[in-house]
Amino acid sequence: MGMTEIERFNADWLQAWSNKDVERLLTFYTEDADYLDPQVPAGIKGHDALRAYLTGLFAALPATRYTPEAVWDVEGGYCGRWYLDAGEGEAAMRMRGFDFVQMRDGRISFNEVYTHTLPAA
Protein backbone atom coordinates (compact mmCIF):
# COMPACT_ATOMS: atom_id res chain seq x y z
CA MET A 1 0.00 0.00 0.00
CA GLY A 2 1.17 3.50 -0.78
CA MET A 3 0.64 6.39 1.63
CA THR A 4 -2.54 7.56 -0.12
CA GLU A 5 -4.02 4.06 0.17
CA ILE A 6 -2.94 3.82 3.82
CA GLU A 7 -4.52 7.19 4.61
CA ARG A 8 -7.78 6.17 2.89
CA PHE A 9 -7.84 2.75 4.58
CA ASN A 10 -7.15 4.33 7.98
CA ALA A 11 -9.86 7.01 7.53
CA ASP A 12 -12.44 4.40 6.43
CA TRP A 13 -11.48 2.12 9.33
CA LEU A 14 -11.75 4.95 11.88
CA GLN A 15 -15.12 5.93 10.42
CA ALA A 16 -16.36 2.39 11.09
CA TRP A 17 -15.12 2.81 14.68
CA SER A 18 -17.00 6.13 14.92
CA ASN A 19 -20.13 4.45 13.59
CA LYS A 20 -19.72 1.57 16.07
CA ASP A 21 -20.27 -0.74 13.11
CA VAL A 22 -18.97 -4.10 14.34
CA GLU A 23 -19.64 -6.05 11.15
CA ARG A 24 -18.04 -3.39 8.98
CA LEU A 25 -15.02 -3.27 11.29
CA LEU A 26 -14.54 -7.01 10.98
CA THR A 27 -14.12 -6.60 7.22
CA PHE A 28 -10.92 -4.65 7.92
CA TYR A 29 -9.43 -7.56 9.91
CA THR A 30 -8.19 -10.98 8.84
CA GLU A 31 -10.16 -13.93 10.28
CA ASP A 32 -7.23 -14.73 12.62
CA ALA A 33 -6.30 -11.15 13.56
CA ASP A 34 -4.64 -10.39 16.87
CA TYR A 35 -6.01 -7.33 18.71
CA LEU A 36 -4.68 -5.64 21.87
CA ASP A 37 -5.73 -2.46 23.64
CA PRO A 38 -5.64 -1.18 27.25
CA GLN A 39 -8.89 -3.06 28.02
CA VAL A 40 -7.51 -6.36 26.70
CA PRO A 41 -3.73 -6.07 27.19
CA ALA A 42 -3.26 -9.84 26.85
CA GLY A 43 -5.05 -9.60 23.52
CA ILE A 44 -7.81 -11.41 21.73
CA LYS A 45 -7.66 -13.41 18.52
CA GLY A 46 -10.03 -13.81 15.60
CA HIS A 47 -13.34 -12.46 14.42
CA ASP A 48 -15.51 -14.18 17.03
CA ALA A 49 -13.55 -12.76 19.97
CA LEU A 50 -13.24 -9.35 18.35
CA ARG A 51 -16.98 -9.26 17.55
CA ALA A 52 -17.87 -10.07 21.17
CA TYR A 53 -15.41 -7.52 22.53
CA LEU A 54 -16.49 -4.70 20.21
CA THR A 55 -20.19 -5.37 20.79
CA GLY A 56 -19.71 -4.99 24.55
CA LEU A 57 -17.38 -2.00 24.20
CA PHE A 58 -19.69 -0.09 21.90
CA ALA A 59 -22.71 -0.76 24.11
CA ALA A 60 -20.84 0.84 27.03
CA LEU A 61 -19.68 3.94 25.13
CA PRO A 62 -21.61 7.10 24.31
CA ALA A 63 -21.56 8.48 20.77
CA THR A 64 -17.98 8.62 19.52
CA ARG A 65 -15.99 10.37 16.81
CA TYR A 66 -12.52 9.22 15.77
CA THR A 67 -10.46 11.75 13.84
CA PRO A 68 -7.29 10.60 12.09
CA GLU A 69 -4.28 12.83 12.69
CA ALA A 70 -1.30 11.17 10.99
CA VAL A 71 -0.12 7.87 9.55
CA TRP A 72 3.37 6.48 9.02
CA ASP A 73 4.33 3.66 6.72
CA VAL A 74 6.17 0.84 8.50
CA GLU A 75 7.34 -2.47 7.15
CA GLY A 76 4.29 -4.70 6.77
CA GLY A 77 1.76 -2.06 7.74
CA TYR A 78 1.46 1.37 9.28
CA CYS A 79 1.17 3.38 12.47
CA GLY A 80 -1.66 5.83 12.89
CA ARG A 81 -2.41 8.51 15.46
CA TRP A 82 -5.97 9.70 16.09
CA TYR A 83 -8.24 11.59 18.48
CA LEU A 84 -11.41 10.26 20.04
CA ASP A 85 -14.18 12.55 21.23
CA ALA A 86 -17.01 10.86 23.12
CA GLY A 87 -20.02 11.96 25.10
CA GLU A 88 -21.23 15.47 25.82
CA GLY A 89 -21.20 18.00 28.62
CA GLU A 90 -19.68 16.86 31.90
CA ALA A 91 -19.54 13.29 30.56
CA ALA A 92 -17.41 14.35 27.57
CA MET A 93 -14.17 12.47 27.11
CA ARG A 94 -11.20 13.06 24.81
CA MET A 95 -8.38 10.65 24.06
CA ARG A 96 -5.40 10.53 21.77
CA GLY A 97 -4.52 7.11 20.47
CA PHE A 98 -1.96 5.36 18.37
CA ASP A 99 -2.41 2.12 16.44
CA PHE A 100 0.38 -0.18 15.35
CA VAL A 101 -1.08 -2.12 12.43
CA GLN A 102 0.36 -5.06 10.52
CA MET A 103 -1.36 -6.00 7.26
CA ARG A 104 -1.80 -9.21 5.32
CA ASP A 105 -3.56 -9.33 1.95
CA GLY A 106 -4.93 -5.80 2.43
CA ARG A 107 -6.45 -6.48 5.86
CA ILE A 108 -5.28 -5.99 9.45
CA SER A 109 -3.64 -9.10 10.89
CA PHE A 110 -2.26 -7.43 14.03
CA ASN A 111 -3.53 -4.31 15.81
CA GLU A 112 -2.06 -2.94 19.02
CA VAL A 113 -3.64 0.22 20.45
CA TYR A 114 -2.10 2.74 22.84
CA THR A 115 -4.21 5.52 24.35
CA HIS A 116 -4.18 8.29 26.91
CA THR A 117 -6.88 10.59 28.17
CA LEU A 118 -6.78 14.31 27.40
CA PRO A 119 -8.80 17.17 28.85
CA ALA A 120 -12.23 17.27 27.16
CA ALA A 121 -12.45 19.79 24.32
Q: How many CA atoms lie within 13 A of 107 on its CB side?
A: 16
Question: pLDDT band for position 66 (50/70/90)?
Answer: very high
pLDDT > 70: percent of the chain: 98
In this prediction, residue 88 carries a pLDDT of 82
Phi, psi of 106 (to 5 degrees): 80, 10
Supply the mean pLDDT for the chain.
94
Task: Please say if the pLDDT value at position 120 is more than 70.
Answer: no
Mean pLDDT of 29-50: 96
| Nearest by Cα to 116 from 102, 96, 98, 99 | 96
Question: pLDDT band for position 121 (50/70/90)?
Answer: low
Q: CATH assignment of 3-118?
A: 3.10.450.50
pLDDT 10s digits, 67-119: 999 999 999 999 999 999 988 887 788 999 999 999 999 999 999 999 988 87
CB within 8 Å of 87: residues ≥ 6 apart: 62, 63, 93
In this prediction, residue 46 carries a pLDDT of 98
| Nearest by Cα to 95 from 81, 79, 84, 87 | 84
In this prediction, residue 48 carries a pLDDT of 98
Name the DSSP letter for residue 91. Answer: G
Give me the residue spans of the domains in the chain: 3-118
In this prediction, residue 117 carries a pLDDT of 82
| Nearest by Cα to 100 from 87, 81, 86 | 81
